[in-house]
Amino acid sequence: MQGADEISVYFITGRHIDHYRRKAERMGKPLPVSVNIGLDPIIRLTSCFEAPTTPIGFYELGIAGAVRGRPVEMVKCVSVRAKSIARAEIVIEGEILPGLRIAEDRNTGKGLIMPEFPGYMGKSQPALPVLKVSAVTHRKKTVFQTLVGPGLEHVNLLGIPTEASITRLLEASMPGRLKNVYCHPAGGGKYLAILQVRKNKPTDEGRQRQAALTAFAAFAELKHIILVDEDVDIFDTDDVMWAMTTRYQGDISTVFIPDVFCHVLDPSSSPEFRPASRAPGIACKTIYDCTVPYTMREDFKRTGFMDMRLESYLD
């Protein structure tokens, strides 16, 4: 909040709402919007979906309706030509004004704003678009709902749509190769993905790395991908680290893709940390191939245990 009726808004490049804001600004027009607070879990989750699963023009609330089995009810705003979600606890209405910019830390001057999903305080931006508030409506006995970053609620909300983007593109381009994917909370749901891949025959060797490259294309903000075999539990970090320890050699199992865009909120992508970065967000994507060569799979069988019938010990 910048004042009684002004809110600064920070958009990461590529966000749909910013696409429409820029379009309106080129026309010299304000963009009417509604900010909806206090929503049911399905809407909170589906609002985190982004390209390529939901490209420009795709209505994320349509996903919410599909999951719930009924449409999300919308109502007209009272002060601007926009709609809001009918059962939101609070709705802030207004317009994003063309050509107007404001320093994010104008009222504090501290250079920091809020905890961000990577686990660090977000740096303030020097010039952000301004939302001019024209009305606030709310339900009776309003409940203000928020989440505190960068906890598990925050990063899991980000991770699930990322997994959907990767799964959709990989299944379309390499059907049957991906068994599962997990966007680990350590990467904030965006930076780190663990891909469980299948190798069915000798000629499948190398396709696991192609899957990683495809995943990078599916979700540009990914920074690290760990590839593992079908016998590794991707949701068990100890198991993933076991695979990295026993099925990975740094000099032959690592693929570097330098000088590509990842995410501006990754502090290690700054030119100060990485001199090769021309701007914040330019980083090195990395593939950690922790899969066993297909021809050596018999040498990497995990220790097995005999089946046991508990009843035989209870007599």
Three state DSSP letters for the chain = CCCCCEEECCCCCCCHHHHHHHHHHHCCCCEEEEEEECCCHHHHHHCCCCCCCCCCCCCHHHHHHHHHCCCCCEEECCCCCCEEECCCCEEEEEEEEEEEEECCCCCCCCCEEEECCCCCEEECCCCEEEEEEEEEEECCCCCCCCCCCCCHHHHHHHHHHHHHHHHHHHHHHCCCCEEEEEECHHHCCCCEEEEEECCCCHHHCCHHHHHHHHHHHHCCCCCEEEEECCCCCCCCHHHHHHHHHHCCCHHHHEEEEEEEECCCCCHHHCCCCCCCCCCCCEEEEEEEECCCCHHHHHHHCCCCCCCCCHHHHCC
Which of 25, 89, 116, 163 is an active site residue? 116
Residue 90 and residue 99 in contact, taking contact as beta carbons nearer than 8 Å: no
**Residue 50 annotated to the active site:** no
How many other β-carbons are positioned within 10 Å of the β-carbon of residue 281? 19
Q: Hey, which residues are catalytic here? A: 116
